[in-house]
Amino acid sequence: MNLCLLCDEHDALGGMLCPGCTKATVVRLECMPTLYEGLRPFLTPSSAVSQGRGGKGGPAPLPVVESVLDMRGVMVGTLEDWLSAVREERGMRQLASRPGVDGRLAAAVAGLLANMPWVASAWPTAGTFAGEVRDLARSVSSVISPPPPPPPRGARIGNCPAVDSSGALCGAVLRLAPGEKAVRCEWCGNQYPPYTWAQLKTWIDEDTGARDAA
């Protein structure tokens, strides 16, 4: 029985990576140039700082955030190392190094993608390779994507049925915050403790029915 070297699931095709992990690795590789590009806005903290170079005298302040620069270097270095490992394993001539970091990333990605069918079917190191590609994609996207939204603040219960002195319905969305014992309308301040919830639901249903009828 063959197990996928990345996810440990049974692989009916008997390769090194199951079709799902192969596809995921291809997608991650294809995303690398976008992820690499996505780091660009983090490279220059402000245009004022980047003007710092060129003056005489002491060292100018570094115009880039070092850790992001490192991360770009790690991306290029990791992918190039893996491509070189693949080519060595397959008895292929090593590629001449290319000038320009941006071109190097694209070349490494293209080379790895071209070798993916062999990697997935025959390379015993495919699991380590695919795992590193996954970790690389993860760590870069954690830098460039905004943090995930906060957890939902409790289920939406309905619209606040409170009526003000002029007879207008509040209608603000009511939610029960986690850990809270009473539903409190953030708009009008009305509180709905648990013993009113059955009634609250009736009111909300009535209001919804009235709105739908209108």
> By the criterion CB under 5 A, which residues form the site for Zn ion?
4, 6-7, 18, 21, 160, 162, 170, 172, 185, 187-188
Nearer to Zn ion, 68 or 116 (CB): 116
CB of 128 to Zn ion, least distance (A): 13
Closer by beta carbon to Zn ion, 137 or else 185:
185
The token duo for 111 is 């080379």
User: How many angstroms separate the most distant Cα atoms in the chain?
Assistant: 84
The CA distance from 192 to 152, in Å, is 20
Q: 101-122 and 19-38 are packed helices; what angle lies between their axes, rounded to 10 degrees?
A: 170
CB–CB of 39/31 below 8 Å?
A: no
- Least distance (Å) from Zn ion to the CB of residue 4? 3
Contact by Cβ (8 Å): 85, 125: yes
Distance, in Å, from the CA atom of 214 to the CA atom of 211, rounded to the nearest integer, reads 5
Report the nearest approach of Zn ion to the CB of residue 5 (Å): 8
Our CB check for Zn ion shows the closer of 16 and 105 to be 16
CB of 31 to Zn ion, least distance (A): 18
User: Residue 113 or 170: which CB sits closer to Zn ion?
Assistant: 170
